[in-house]
Amino acid sequence: MIELQNIKKVFNAGTVNENIAIQGIDLKIEKGDFITVIGSNGAGKSTMLSIVAGFQTPDGGRVLFGDKDITKVPEYKRAEYIGVVFQDPLSGTAKSLSIEENMAIAAKRGTKRWFRRGVNSKNRKYFAERLKELGLGLEERLKANAGLLSGGQRQSLTLLMAAMANPEMLLLDEHTAALDPKTAELVMNLTDKLIKDMGLTAMMVTHNMKQALDFGNRIIMMHEGQIILDIKGEEKQGLTIPDLLGMFEKVRGVGITDDKLLLSK
């Protein structure tokens, strides 16, 4: 559904701080995929997600949505088919707007905004129904400002908002990393439920290997701006952390000997 073709991204090109974040990534995201992305700091995980979301433009390669080239389409236009949840729980909602007003903004994603009343009795009822699914009692606090909510509540609301207006794809950028373990678990289970219930295609960047293994049908490991592992389907089921670490060592090891072999020939 979304495809990355030979994506390259370099930060501070031509300076002493030059940093090659992504070097030639090809990735085909199939409809219904729930991909978890792991890798060490600076592996390029978040940069790849930003390129899919449109927050950043690649320096080379193409981003395809279906057969449409969306490489240069700005983020706010991609929001029509892509929902995003960021790591910072405060960054997904507007604190001075009420819960229902925040949801009204999300509900209008992908449509023109003009002078119709943002929150009316009809969509308020819908918002309350959706909030009930969270099981946090937020449906009783529709008129409370989002700024009054806890981090976990705000992240849950953000998640719901990202999944509103029927996006084709949900992008999660370490969205539980800033929460305490219990809340993180709650938000993660909620994420999984939403993705399954709504049949969403999703990509989740995480630092947590266990999370990456427990959820999704496909796991991608990144290293130094490249995808070094892409395991899906049955092969992913039953995969453990030691397996993953072993594979990582192996891939890196083989990679190096391969280089040596190539050079010696």
Partner 1 sequence: MGAIEHGLVFSLMALGVFLTLRALDFPDISVDGSLPLGAAVSALLITKGYDQFLSVAAAALAGFGAGAITALLNTKLKILNLLAGILTMIGLYSINLRVMGMPNIPLLGYDTVFTPLESMGIPPQVASIGLFATFTVLVCVFLVWFFHTDIGLALRATGDNLKMVKAQGVNTDRMIFFGVALSNAFVAMSGALVAQSLGFADVNMGIGTVVAGLASVIVGEAVLSSSTVLKAVVGVVVGSMIYRLAVAYALSVELGPIKLSPGDLNLITAIIVVIALTFPGVRKKLGGLRS
**What DSSP element (H or E) covers 34?**
strand 34-39
| HEC string for 65-93 | ECCEECCCCCHHHHCCCEEEECCCCCCCC
Q: Which residues have a Cβ under 8 Å from the Cβ of 221 and sit 6 or more positions away? A: 37, 38, 39, 227, 228, 229, 230, 244, 247, 248, 251
Of 108 and 232, nearer to partner 1 (C-beta) is: 108
118 binds partner 1 (CB under 8 A): yes
Least CB distance to partner 1 at residue 178 (A): 14
When asked if residue 215 is in the footprint of partner 1 (CB under 8 A), the reply is: no
Q: Does 84 bind partner 1 (CB under 8 A)?
A: yes
Site membership for partner 1, residue 262 (CB under 8 A): no
For the bound state, the minimum distance from the C-beta of residue 213 to partner 1, rounded and expressed in Å, comes to 28
Please report, as residue ranges, which positions from 60 to 79 form the binding site for partner 1 (by CB under 8 A).
Answer: 75-77, 79
Please state, in angstroms and rounded to a whole number, the distance separating the CA atoms of residues 100 and 114. Answer: 18
Q: Judged by CB under 8 A, which of 56, 87, 102, 206 binds partner 1?
A: 102
Among 62, 54, 65, 48, residue whose Cα is nearest residue 1: 65
Q: Give the residues lining the site for partner 1 (CB under 8 A).
A: 53, 75-77, 79-80, 83-84, 86, 91-97, 101-102, 104-106, 108-110, 113-119, 145, 147, 161-162
